[in-house]
Amino acid sequence: MEEARLNGRVGDEPVELIIYRDSQSDYLNLISDLEAENWGEANVQLQENCSYHYKISEGFQLREVPRLISPFTKPDNNRGLIKPGNYTGTLAFTGYKISEPARTAIFIVEIRSKKTDYRTEYRLMLEEITNFSIDLVLRHSSPIVQAIAPNYDLDHRSLYQKFAFINSIIGTDEFFEAVNRIIRSPVTQWTSTEVTSDIRKSHKFSRKTINQFASNKSRVPVPSDLQSHILISSLPSRITYEVKEDSIDTPENQFVKHVLTEYFLICQYVKDKLLDGSREKIEAEILTNRLRNVISQDLFKSVSRPRSLALNSPVLQKKEGYREVFKSWLMFDLGSKLTWSGGDGVFIAGKKDIAKLYEYWVYFKLLRIIAEVFPDFSDCFSELIKPSNDGLELNLNAGFCTRIQRVCKYATREIEVEFCYNQTFSGTDDENYPKKGSWTRTMRPDYTLSFWPVGFSQQEAEEQELIVHIHFDAKYRVDNITEAFGPKDNERSLDEIDNDEEIRDFQRMDLIKMHAYKDAIRRTAGAYILYPGTENKIWRGYHEIIPGLGAFTLRPAKGNEGSAELKEFLEKVLDQLLNRASKYEETTYHIFATQSSPSIEVREKLPEKYDEKRVRPPADERCLIGFVKDQRHMEWIEKNGLYNIRLTSREEEKETEKFSLDFSDIRYLLLHDANGSETKVIFDIKDPKPITMSKEELERKSYPNPRHDHYLVFSIRQNSQVAFQNVIWNLKDLDGFPKGRASSSPFVTTLAKLMKATVREE
């Protein structure tokens, strides 16, 4: 379709608006009245993120709407551009007469989503949110809440929101098909009716009618020839007896009529309160007319008003047709009490923000999954409902943080779990480690799951690297992994992607955003997209499930919507959190230990690798400072490749000063003697685990004059590191090194501290 024409009037004057496609790729269509009525849409269909030209009749101008309608300047001010952007839903354009701006005409168009299934997905998501909300109300058992009655005396926005909930329950083909099943095959019952007639027309006498032979006053004489047979002189002229017939005026049919009538009256009330000419009012009129047609069926003309509602009837609870109407009534009664201010941006004034609706829908889906993985969340749903002036308020609103927290107890660990919607992680230009938040700019993921061990406050867990954040973002307009993260590396080269502006700016944007969450928000272990596609993707930072990035499918569908895979992922996350020896927990511990200690500067040349592996940072590399008694002792050390430290006995400990040092995992041995504090004799320790030797074992190795029973012995070798050539260490400058006689005792320090005491030879 190349163009669409819309006609309007200003008084008696006709006005025409013509809309043209900007290019062949832009969508423009005209649907039938039946299709428009069925889906509650306008006939002229545009599409989001497309571009259009328009022309309105001479002497008229289309009212400008920022970022949506842009009229040209004179002399072509009756022409312009329409760019819907991401707007979806019914849109009213206002045309006005230039000479008399107060005189206007309204043109209605529909901005549809690019996604082909958006119609059914929109209805399905709205229906599921309604069902979830009704379930919340049912769970909310406070007496104060139960006393609140529906309030329809509201502004048109809140009123339409209530109508949207109601319409999602009863404005479906399934509901009206259930009503039609009742009309085709209603429940009936035998009823007894008392009839008074001439005694001569009676056929069957019951005990009750026989009793009337003697009691009735209006009587006729019995012929004399019969008196001897019936032993009575007269009979009543008329008697009353019961007649049974099959009736449709049953309590169940009365209930259905009552429900349909209530629906009709409330929808009509909503229709009358909404603004004339609005899309909302059109939708209300459509539903009101459908209900009017149903109520006017012959079945309901023969059914009386109920005196009571038989809610415990097996027919209402089990019979097809009746069961659906009964369920709808329960949902309707509760849903009419519910207000949701967060829904204003979704379906107010005809707007159908399906992307925002998807974001809300995902929240409820996520909450259900979390309640399955973490059973302690099963009682959290009532926190989403609170009393309000209008009845009940659904406490979920984009831009405001909704927070639910529970303690989850397991055999090996107790964990605090918090689920947040729209949690803000504030950014700062100041150095704010180890506080929470983003260390660059403020970030606000759609959903955040946080975990930390019981016994720590959330702030303490943040500052000690104990908390774990996992973020999710809802992306309705993403259809597949390629749209979210770009093509695989083997599908297109980086040069092609860099030269393709659309791919560079769009397809990798979501991946970059997930990286931003992961890298900027402190203690984040994962960031994932949730989108209505079919393919899941997880990148693991290492070999455990977190840290990671990726995408999961959550699609509005009846059946497999993708939640099973997301549930399995969260179960694996929980399993990793319960593993106290996980590499992620080990990593975060060392981050805390490292970053919480003061920084040390070492600007010396140091070894880069040891035994073909990277060396530890100098603050973690441990060195043993040992004493050499004399030249003979040094020669024995070099010849045997051993260095020993005496182990004192318990008796000796009583008489000598006891030292307690950790001699494991030592990399270097620096030796000094009694002649001075400077030394350059350094060895590598081959095995970080020393062994014990007895006095006799050392004597067999020709150790000079061993005097103690046992020794701790290190296996060493000559150090060949270029970084340690021409280096002299002055032990007087070594932090903490003992002085005097105690200097001969073994001393353990770090390489970072040791390099602070260097003196380079010229």
Is residue 521 in some structural domain? Answer: yes
Is residue 374's pLDDT more than 90? yes
386-419 b/e with 16+ CB inside 10 Å = b? eebebbbbbbbbbeeebebebebeeeeeebbbbb
Q: Please compute the mean of the pLDDT values over residues 84-100 and round it to a whole number.
A: 86
Whether residue 559 is found in the same domain as residue 455: yes
Is residue 455 in some structural domain? Answer: yes
Q: Please compute the mean of the pLDDT values over residues 590-610 and round it to a whole number.
A: 85
When mean pLDDT is compared across 132-146, 252-266, 438-452, 642-656, the lowest value belongs to 132-146
Is residue 81's pLDDT more than 80? yes
Whether residue 521 is found in the same domain as residue 670: no
> Could you tell me the residue range of the domain that residue 315 belongs to?
154-188+247-331
Whether residue 491 is found in the same domain as residue 534: yes
Query: Residue 351: left (phi > 0), alpha (psi -120 to 50), or beta?
Result: beta
Whether residue 448 is found in the same domain as residue 489: yes
39 vs 111, which has greater pLDDT?
111
CA 527/CA 445 separation, integer angstroms: 9
CA 175/CA 126 separation, integer angstroms: 15
Q: At how many degrees (to 10) do helices 322-335 and 118-139 cross? A: 70
Q: Please compute the mean of the pLDDT values over residues 323-349 and round it to a whole number.
A: 69
Residue 341, helix vs strand vs coil: helix
Is residue 135 in some structural domain? Answer: no
Q: Please compute the mean of the pLDDT values over residues 5-31 and round it to a whole number.
A: 90
Whether residue 582 is found in the same domain as residue 626: no
CA 340/CA 356 separation, integer angstroms: 14
What pLDDT sits at residue 204?
Answer: 64
pLDDT 10s digits, 469-521? 999 999 988 877 666 666 665 555 545 545 554 444 445 677 888 999 999 99
**Integer distance in angstroms from the first to the last C-alpha of the chain?**
88
CA 300/CA 294 separation, integer angstroms: 9
pLDDT 10s digits, 518-560? 999 999 999 999 999 888 889 998 999 999 999 999 998 887 8
CA 613/CA 686 separation, integer angstroms: 14
Q: Where do we find the tokens 């309160």?
A: 273
Quick one: tokens of 2? 């190349």
Residue 728, helix vs strand vs coil: strand
Is residue 332's pLDDT more than 80? no
Any idea what the Cα angle at residue 555 is, between residues 551 and 558, rounded to 5°? 150
Q: Please compute the mean of the pLDDT values over residues 570-581 and round it to a whole number.
A: 95
Domain end position, chosen among 331, 358, 387: 331
Is residue 636 in some structural domain? Answer: yes
pLDDT 10s digits, 255-310? 999 889 988 888 888 888 776 766 677 778 888 999 999 999 988 988 988 877 66
Is residue 584 in some structural domain? Answer: yes
User: What length does the chain have?
Assistant: 762
What pLDDT sits at residue 47?
Answer: 92
Longest dimension (CA), the chain: 161
What pLDDT sits at residue 490?
Answer: 52
CA 443/CA 200 separation, integer angstroms: 94
What pLDDT sits at residue 666?
Answer: 92
Quick one: tokens of 226? 């019969």
- pLDDT tier for residue 160 given thresholds of 50, 70 and 90: low
Give the chain's mean pLDDT. 82
Residue 465, helix vs strand vs coil: coil
Is residue 201's pLDDT more than 90? no
CA 541/CA 545 separation, integer angstroms: 8
For residue 403, the cross-strand partners are 420
Domain end position, chosen among 272, 305, 331: 331
Is residue 457's pLDDT more than 90? yes
CA 256/CA 180 separation, integer angstroms: 12
pLDDT 10s digits, 612-666? 888 889 988 999 999 999 999 999 999 999 999 988 644 444 444 444 567 888 9
Q: Assess contact for 450 and 485: CB atoms under 8 A.
A: no
291 vs 164, which has greater pLDDT?
291
pLDDT 10s digits, 693-746? 999 999 999 999 898 999 999 999 999 888 898 899 999 999 999 988 889 999
**Number of other residues whose CB lies within 10 A of the CB of residue 586:** 11
- pLDDT tier for residue 409 given thresholds of 50, 70 and 90: very high
**Number of other residues whose CB lies within 10 A of the CB of residue 376:** 14
Quick one: tokens of 181? 């099943």
Between the CA of residue 360 and those of 126, 363, 375, what are the distances in Å?
A: 10, 5, 22
When mean pLDDT is compared across 299-308, 380-389, 530-539, 601-610, the lowest value belongs to 380-389
**Number of other residues whose CB lies within 10 A of the CB of residue 113:** 21
Q: Assess contact for 110 and 282: CB atoms under 8 A.
A: no
CATH of the domain at 11: 2.60.40
CA 154/CA 348 separation, integer angstroms: 14
Whether residue 498 is found in the same domain as residue 567: yes
Omega of the bond prior to 547 within 30 degrees of 0, cis?
Answer: yes
Q: Please compute the mean of the pLDDT values over residues 153-162 and round it to a whole number.
A: 57
Whether residue 578 is found in the same domain as residue 626: no
Is residue 746 in some structural domain? Answer: yes
Is residue 390 in some structural domain? Answer: no
Q: Assess contact for 92 and 2: CB atoms under 8 A.
A: no
Sign of the CA dihedral with 330 first, then 333, 338, and 344 last: positive
Is residue 533 in some structural domain? Answer: yes
Domain end position, chosen among 83, 114, 145: 114
Q: Where do we find the tokens 């529970």?
A: 406
CA 601/CA 50 separation, integer angstroms: 58
Among 323, 303, 327, CA closest to 314: 323
What pLDDT sits at residue 526?
Answer: 94
CA 151/CA 390 separation, integer angstroms: 6
Q: Please compute the mean of the pLDDT values over residues 344-370 and round it to a whole number.
A: 80
CA 360/CA 393 separation, integer angstroms: 15
Q: Please compute the mean of the pLDDT values over residues 585-605 and round it to a whole number.
A: 87
Residue 585, helix vs strand vs coil: helix
How would you class 727 by CB atoms within 10 Å of its CB: exposed for 0-12, middle for 13-18, buried for 19 or more? middle
Whether residue 84 is found in the same domain as residue 32: yes
Whether residue 50 is found in the same domain as residue 177: no
Whether residue 420 is found in the same domain as residue 491: yes
Look at the chain and report how many structural domains it folds into.
4
Quick one: tokens of 727? 């280096």
CATH of the domain at 670: 3.10.590
Q: Where do we find the tokens 């996604």?
A: 115
Whether residue 168 is found in the same domain as residue 298: yes
- pLDDT tier for residue 145 given thresholds of 50, 70 and 90: very low
Quick one: tokens of 458? 């959330």
For residue 402, the cross-strand partners are 421
Whether residue 623 is found in the same domain as residue 728: yes
